[in-house]
Structure 1
């Protein structure tokens, strides 16, 4: 019998391979040949799914935007509201291990690319609102306030704290991905926790 190919699984494996290559070698290094070598596939097998570097990068980003919300949803479902859940939610957006480091580097590379080439209109703003919504959930958890309901709308009582927290998360994400020797995962976690502690103290 002919071998049954799980195309969804294959594409997932390829998306992970693209992220690893970009994390290690940058966007320029994420060629079809390099990804084929990383995944252990032949060039012909890879081109069955993706014919260009652009298609590879687009898919890697699409997969990332599916994976991260799933992980965050699991955190929200399995943790009780409070500072620990807030920390866990926000950590999913930070480059604290090899997989998340690769995700952030792919995202940064993709966002730089869409400024100079045909990309996805509105992607940066969509991502910004999504991150802002998660910061709103974290702030509400820490301060014991009602959660934001609608993405893109931050309730007035959360606004100032969300502004501060989002800037911190973006800074930790960018610096952790670009100078990881200077901003280690341990330091990122400590800085994030310190900010959440400040927010909690304000609510008392």
Structure 2
């Protein structure tokens, strides 16, 4: 009998391999050859799924954008509203461990080319609105204000606070991914907690 190949499982394995390579060698090191070696695949087998490094990065971004909402929903379902849940929601998007560091580095590489001819500005816009919605949920949890219900629509009473937190989170994300020795996970958590406390007191 011919061997049955589970393509979804194989792509998931490749996504994990991409993240491991990025965490270890950075985005530039996540070549098709390096990912094939990490996954234990031949170059030919890998090229069945991805022909270029850009396709690998696109796949890794798509995988993250599918996985992150699942992790966030788990937090919403298992934790009570309040400052601790606000912290947990934002931390899920920050580069606080190897997996999330790889996710962020792949995302930053993706964002750097979204305005080029082969970029995907529509997906970048979707990701931006998704992050903004998480910031709105965190603000509502931290302040006790009414929660937003629709991705892409920030209620007027939350706009100013969400603007503040969104820019702050992007700063933590970028600095944590590019100079992690200076902005350690512990320091990022402390800064985030202080910012959420200040929002709650405003």
Q: Aligned partners of 2:61, 2:117: CA distance in 1, in Å?
A: 15
Equivalence for 1:140: 140
Equivalence for 1:8: 8
TM-score by length of 2: 0.93
Asked whether the equivalents of residues 115 and 121 of structure 2 are also in contact (C-alpha less than 8 Å), the reply is: no
Residues 23-47 of structure 1, C-alpha deviations (whole Å, 9 max, x = no match): 3333332221111011111112212
Residues 54-94 of structure 1, C-alpha deviations (whole Å, 9 max, x = no match): 22121111111101111111111111111111111100110
Q: Aligned partners of 1:6, 1:123: CA distance in 2, in Å?
A: 27
Equivalence for 2:51: 51
Q: Aligned partners of 1:51, 1:159: CA distance in 2, in Å?
A: 42
Asked whether the equivalents of residues 26 and 109 of structure 1 are also in contact (C-alpha less than 8 Å), the reply is: no
Equivalence for 1:34: 34
CA RMSD of aligned residues (A): 1.5
Equivalence for 2:85: 85
Residues 100-123 of structure 1, C-alpha deviations (whole Å, 9 max, x = no match): 000000000111122334121323
Q: Unpaired runs of 5+ in structure 2?
A: none
Asked whether the equivalents of residues 23 and 101 of structure 1 are also in contact (C-alpha less than 8 Å), the reply is: yes
Shift of 1:12: 0.7
Q: Unpaired runs of 5+ in structure 1?
A: none
Asked whether the equivalents of residues 32 and 46 of structure 1 are also in contact (C-alpha less than 8 Å), the reply is: yes
Equivalenced residue count is: 202
Q: Aligned partners of 1:103, 1:54: CA distance in 2, in Å?
A: 15
Q: Which shifted more, 11-20 or 49-58?
A: 49-58
